[in-house]
Amino acid sequence: MQKRKLGKSNLEVSALGLGCMGMSFSYGPAGDKQEMISVIRSAVEQGVTFFDTAEVYGPFTNEELVGEALAPVRGKVVIATKFGFDCDTGKQGGLNSQPEHIRKVVDASLKRLKIQTIDLLYQHRVDPDVPIEDVAGTVKDLIRQGKVKHFGLSEAGVQTIRRAHAVQPVTALQSEYSLWWREPEAEVLPTLEELGIGFVPFSPLGKGFLTGKISADTKFDANDFRNKVPRFDPENRKANQALVEVVETFAKQKQATPAQVALAWVLAQKPWIVPIPGTTKLHRLRENIGAVLLHLTPEDLRALEGAASKISVQGARYPEHLQKLVGR
């Protein structure tokens, strides 16, 4: 497994991480605990050293799962988690980045994760009621206390990134990025490059769509978040199939899978980008890891982007109430 550094921070991780959210939350029923532990430990055996969770996933159960799975190999891995939602009052979706709340959440996350220090702590969503300087200052204190090593932001806009970075250097930004969501290229990626901040794309496979395994007829579980995502409306899925066909064509040429091409494309964009595809299946894990060895030449990238740019992706990536929480 190749390694990458997240920006100028010297935080070195495997070129591909593992997003653990879907094991407990958001994509239908939670997976069997022992099976999920097996997937996480198999990832470690295959060289993955970067694992992503959050207190809101469950809530709480995903951190517990990740903590248990990684306890035997703690010294070999980097664990990232997040604060920023109000999980205690049952108001799921309510934001809370008050300094006292952050401190409380970090203590609880450390216990659930069975660790002494959080390697990378993200603000999950920007809280308009708390100045980002106060958030960054609180994390700076936690770093001084040894409870946290690195500070990250998720789905933040460029002005917020700059303001936070001025108080406590931001190691990584986590946001959605893939062949079918390229908005970060306009302002976010140039800002990260300028400031020396790493980028951790979630949903690099378009929430599964770029694997080619989802069609207009696919039925999702009743608890699957994609039921509420406009981009996954059956009509939009039908229209967006054109992008998958482009990826599938390239995959055939490269004797790879569509998922591997989609991940290799993300990896080829910048050396400080570390995607975190999620999976609950061992064979998918192996397939995703194979993307690290798939080399796309500059000609491949130009051809792939040229074909993809002719396709207008249909549907918003979030329902309206969640769209309001991004890009602040």
User: 258-279: per-residue pLDDT in tens?
Assistant: 999 999 999 999 999 999 999 9
Per-residue pLDDT, 90: 56
What token pair was written down for 118? 């959080």
Instruction: Please name every residue paired with 181 in a beta bridge, in sequence order, or none if there are none.
Output: 178
What token pair was written down for 128? 């308009």
Q: Distance (Å, rounded) from C-alpha 132 to C-alpha 230? A: 30
Query: Among 66, 56, 63, which Cα is nearest to 91's?
Result: 56
Q: Distance (Å, rounded) from C-alpha 156 to C-alpha 135? A: 13
SS3 94: coil
Q: Structural domain tally of the chain?
A: 1
SS3 43: helix
Q: Distance (Å, rounded) from C-alpha 82 to C-alpha 101? A: 12
Q: Report which DSSP code applies to 230.
A: G
Per-residue pLDDT, 128: 97
Residue 75 backbone dihedrals phi, psi, to 5 degrees: -70, -15
**67 within some domain:** yes
Neighbouring C-beta atoms of residue 163, cutoff 10 Å = 15
Provide the CATH number for the domain around residue 308. 3.20.20.100
Query: Among 21, 125, 122, 17, which Cα is nearest to 66's?
Result: 21
**Could you give the residue numbers annotated as active site?**
57
**Between helices 99-113 and 132-144, what is the axis angle to 10°?**
40
pTM: 0.97
| Domain that residue 249 falls in | 3-323
Per-residue pLDDT, 88: 79
Q: Distance (Å, rounded) from C-alpha 324 to C-alpha 311? A: 26
Q: Taking a C-beta distance cutoff of 8 angstroms, is the pair 117, 147 a contact?
A: yes
CB within 8 Å of 259: residues ≥ 6 apart: 205, 210, 211, 212, 277, 284, 287, 288, 291
Q: Distance (Å, rounded) from C-alpha 96 to C-alpha 15? A: 32
Residues counted in the chain: 328
CB within 8 Å of 314: residues ≥ 6 apart: 231, 235, 236, 239, 240
**58 within some domain:** yes
Q: Tally DSSP H helices, then E strands, for the chain.
A: 11, 9
**328 within some domain:** no
**178 within some domain:** yes
CA distances from 31 to 35, 62, 75, 241, 280 (A): 7, 10, 26, 28, 7
SS3 153: strand
**225 within some domain:** yes
Q: What is the DSSP string of 265-288?
A: HHHHH-TTB----B-S-HHHHHHH
Per-residue pLDDT, 93: 64
Per 3-state DSSP, the chain is made up of helix, strand and coil in percentages (nearest 5) of: 45, 15, 40
Per-residue pLDDT, 137: 98
**59 within some domain:** yes
Give me the residues of the chain with pLDDT under 70, please.
Answer: 89-93
**93 within some domain:** yes
**35 within some domain:** yes
Q: Distance (Å, rounded) from C-alpha 32 to C-alpha 30? A: 7
Amino acid symbol at 249: T
